[in-house]
Structure 1
């Protein structure tokens, strides 16, 4: 099995953990692909490729030219376009594909969740539900901030690894450049310090950013939760261990 080539579509903790688990084992030559949205990604073992492929056709061409034997899609649960392209490309190139589908968060007693389809619907709910001057914690990344410009009466605290373009920012928005994982104590302090009255989040699942949900529950404030897009109909496992089993089979 030595010398077989694996492409990991990465950018998540699962992708990094899979690359580390395979590093030095000699079974797979690993290439991790990153979209390039983060200017200073964390270091990874093995080869790293940064940038897009040019859609499904470009990815299929890459799989053939680089003689990729298997692909693991370990992208973010909201990277719907990349996952769809991976499914189409692997089918075209005849390369086996597995997706690591991190389990979604589910509400527990005491949670006040408002589930919405996207950032625009989240902004509409905030505009109708919160009083002028209320502070909202945005934890959905830098690329979906613009819809909240329609809430000029609210204050926003945006937590993102990198800042959005200035024209996307709401009028009253404090930027926090931070990378998870986040602790419950830290999230409690953030909510208290800024007087947060609601949290907006994507249902990303996982442990790295889940503490904000517990902190919101304790503070009895609502969480406007953006539902995941529908995943492609490809084989999937819930964790890195399942991907390792698949690669060893």
Structure 2
């Protein structure tokens, strides 16, 4: 069940972008897009879980329901978050104060949901016996590889947003924004490469990648420390790197438990 759950959660994270795009384009047709997405997850869960992984019906249903729940929480309208305690005072500050408060709380909410997701996968891995088949390994590997791209980028961005206490600083600073655009490609490639090296048990190569990244970014970090930026780039580099590496390691562990 762990392999199917990882695969469906990864697909739900990717399909979430499609649903949100449909909400911006079509508005009232969001329900149709959500129903289509849920149907896709259900069909994928049944086709992979039953004939391929040979899971029982209740296990397939549980995996599909958890994937749908993971897909649906991000579709909650932002105005609903305004009902949380603490937003009333920010609402009195006007539109800018409300947006700033919302920008502070949303990354924390997303990280909390990601932590709950990790807890669910951990409980599932401990409660169910690993299938150990080649099909289960392939399904888990595909799911982890998908999850380490755009969804993992969101988690790392949220971690950085919470660390800097202002998710809009990146957009206001040209240099940092440029580096973040490159990070959207570097991060997923780095995590997938670490995952592949971990799968073939090559710790020396993983250590070389970690060391090489530090050497490449050392001039930029050194220049940042010399300037009056207070070492912010160095801190963001360390926080983002550790978050990215932790996600890659968790992906490797998830594949091993499948």
Q: Same fold (TM over 0.5)?
A: no
Q: Provide the TM-score with structure 1 as the length reference.
A: 0.29
Q: Provide the TM-score with structure 2 as the length reference.
A: 0.28
Q: Bigger relative contact order, structure 1 or 2, given CA contacts below 8 A and separation 6+?
A: 2
* Larger proportion of strand: 1
* Larger proportion of helix: 2
